[in-house]
Amino acid sequence: MKVYQAIQFLKLTTYIKIDGKDFEVEFTGGVKSPRRENGKYSTIDPKVQQALEDSPAYGIKWRLVYDSGEPEAPSFVEEKEEVDLKIVDEVTTAQEAKDYLKNEYELGWKEVPKNTTEIKDFAKQHRITFPKW
């Protein structure tokens, strides 16, 4: 897995070309306080990693901050499991969603989404849906 971080942005949505098609990349989770930390994007897909690193924006809008050294994507079955949405029916409010994400992902106080938009972005990034909220 590789983790990339936006250089100037708390949140950045951009597109890169993979096999001639546009692929959306969202750097999320950035915080202003108590210490600024810009948005991040992680992937295990070698095609996405290569496209990010070959992009003219690499080093200008984002940079590589972590590389686990595992060069291969998981098998098709593992990839399918990762793509499936996790449906959480018991969440009905923003506060419940925030608490659920904090507990489920063992987030520290700096990492917890601060508002409705950040909660939705975090859930989208982690393939979670709250249908009753």
Q: Which long-range contacts (CB under 8 A, 24 or more apart) does 19-23 make?
A: 19/47, 23/48, 23/51
Phi, psi torsion values for 112, nearest 5 degrees: -65, 130
Taking the model in full, what pTM does it have? 0.53
Say how many Å lie between the first and final Cα of the chain, rounded.
32
Question: Above pLDDT 70, what percent of the chain?
Answer: 89
Confidence of residue 41 (pLDDT cuts 50, 70, 90): very high
- pLDDT in the model for residue 71: 58
What is the pLDDT of the chain when averaged over all its residues? 86
- pLDDT in the model for residue 82: 41
- pLDDT in the model for residue 124: 85
The larger pLDDT score, comparing residue 102 to residue 82, is at 102
- pLDDT in the model for residue 79: 41
The larger pLDDT score, comparing residue 82 to residue 118, is at 118
pLDDT at residue 115 above 70? yes
The larger pLDDT score, comparing residue 72 to residue 66, is at 66
- pLDDT in the model for residue 21: 92
